Amino acid sequence: MSAEPMTLHVPLHRPSTLPANLRAGVAKQVLRLATRRVPVDVVLPDGDLLNDRGGVRTPDRPAIVLRHPEEFYRRLAENPKIGLGEAYTAGDWHPAEGTDLADALTPYAARLSGLVPGWMQRLRRLVDQPIPEDQRGAVEDSPENISAHYDLGNEMFAAFLDPSLSYSSALFDRARPVAEQDLEEAQLRKVHAALDLAGVGAGDDVLEIGTGWGTLAIEAARRGARVTTVTLSGEQAALARQRIEAAGYADRVQVLVRDYRHVVGTFDAVVSVEMIEAVGERYWPDYFGALSRLVRPGGAVALQAILMPHQRYLATRNSYGWIQKHIFPGGLIPSETVIMEQAGKVGLTVTRTDRFGADYAETLRRWRAAFLAAWPTIRSDTFDESFRRTWEFYLAYCEAGFRTDCIDVAQIRLERPSHP
């Protein structure tokens, strides 16, 4: 799971050209302007509204409370793409009583392109920060980037994931009310949809790029396939092996701690669920080249990928955001256009795309509820209150993005022709 769905852009001059107090003042005025365009009340510590001194909250409207307004403005001024989330972690703002965090963020996400005038948006390049060199997906950096997230501990993830330990979007049954559906059932539906898309059946040799905790490998083996699955997370690999052995498929599944670029051999099918977002744009040619090299002629690749609209991808591809800094170092979301272009360069053809972004919003909503409910058991010297607020914001922030189509998720079939 990797995303950078929405950012409150506060267009300022380069940080070095304006005093800190002036930058914060500009941030305050831009925020005041944005509040006029979004149906969310912004409440100051004295109870007044940011854009309506002496005004009162609108009934049934989401609201946020600025607990430390000046610190909030300062963080936005220092880095608009990162400051909003860091201010939440620091406790500078919070949803008002009765307002869900995702409900407060969703109206901003829905109006992202119109929060500030167009001429101000064109100044975003003055405050965008470039992606650090060690987060661009180099082989020597990838294990560290992956460990920064996935090696937080199996117990931490197990506290809020369903029993399948699936950490990607579930796929709910459209024919039944979502509220009545179990998350584990929906996750297994997602796994089998990906296996079906790749045409995985008995006797097939299957490569999985991105092991997770072994659920897809187990389900592929249950179909009678032979599976090689690779990950860069030592913690994930250890638990995946245990789960695969407990399921009785150790003879059919090989778990390797290995970069996908170092995999050898060919396979009838390749499946990769929400792995491409961690690759890094510089190495997308390597990724697709590996897919083409590893799948046999006539075989298929099934990718589950988080997507963003192509124009947004072009606008944000070289800038550094909160998700990259605090959640997924090295991550970048592609567009479907990019996937088609990269696939075409290595002889792969996109033949089917199944989108289900609303299902990701529901998955994230359930993860966040489970995470907060389990927090007393997660809390430790390692996972402190700042960690809780960071992850609460991360899950709500991404949920808002999927709710409003700022980002989407899809399963995509790539085919390699039987003959050149």
Last residue of one domain, picked from the residues 87, 106, 128: 128
Local confidence band at 225 (pLDDT 50, 70, 90 cut-offs) = very high
C-alpha angle 350/351/353, rounded to 5°?
85
Compute the distance between CA of residue 3 and CA of residue 277 in angstroms, rounded to an integer. 8
- 9 lies in a domain? no
Last residue of one domain, picked from the residues 95, 128, 161: 128
C-alpha angle 341/220/347, rounded to 5°?
20
Mean pLDDT value of segment 260-275: 97
Tens of pLDDT, residues 27-45: 788 788 778 889 999 999 9
- 184 lies in a domain? yes
Local confidence band at 2 (pLDDT 50, 70, 90 cut-offs) = low
- 382 lies in a domain? yes
**Quick check: 387 and 335 in contact, CB under 8 A?**
no
Token code pair at residue 119: 């001429």
Q: Quick one: 266 and 186 in the same domain? A: yes
**Residue bearing tokens 């995999």:** 263
Q: What are the residues whose beta carbons fall under 8 Å from the beta carbon of 212, sequence distance 6 or more? A: 165, 166, 167, 168, 231, 236, 240, 273
- 1 lies in a domain? no
Local confidence band at 19 (pLDDT 50, 70, 90 cut-offs) = low
Window from 30-44, 97-111, 167-181, 294-308 with minimum mean pLDDT: 30-44
Sheet holding 408-415, edge to edge: 253-257, 226-231, 205-209, 267-273, 295-307, 408-415, 349-355
Q: Quick one: 325 and 196 in the same domain? A: yes
Q: Quick one: 56 and 164 in the same domain? A: no
Q: Quick one: 159 and 75 in the same domain? A: no
Q: Quick one: 310 and 234 in the same domain? A: yes
Q: Quick one: 349 and 317 in the same domain? A: yes
- 2 lies in a domain? no
Q: Quick one: 274 and 324 in the same domain? A: yes
Q: Quick one: 168 and 42 in the same domain? A: no
**Which pLDDT score is estimated for 14?**
43
- 124 lies in a domain? yes
Average pLDDT, the chain: 88
Q: Quick one: 77 and 123 in the same domain? A: yes
Q: Quick one: 152 and 175 in the same domain? A: yes
Helices within 322-384 (DSSP H only): 322-326, 336-345, 357-378
- 7 lies in a domain? no
Q: Quick one: 120 and 143 in the same domain? A: no
The boundaries of the domain holding residue 323 are: 135-415
Q: Quick one: 283 and 193 in the same domain? A: yes
By residue count, the chain amounts to 420
Last residue of one domain, picked from the residues 128, 162, 178: 128
Distances (CA, A) of 184 to 159, 212, 334, 367, 368: 14, 15, 27, 12, 15
- 10 lies in a domain? no
Q: CA 42, 47, 51, 57: dihedral to nearest 10 degrees?
A: 70
Residue 217, phi-psi category: left (phi > 0), alpha (psi -120 to 50), beta (remainder)? alpha
Number of structural domains (the chain) is 2
Window from 50-54, 83-87, 276-280, 394-398 with minimum mean pLDDT: 50-54
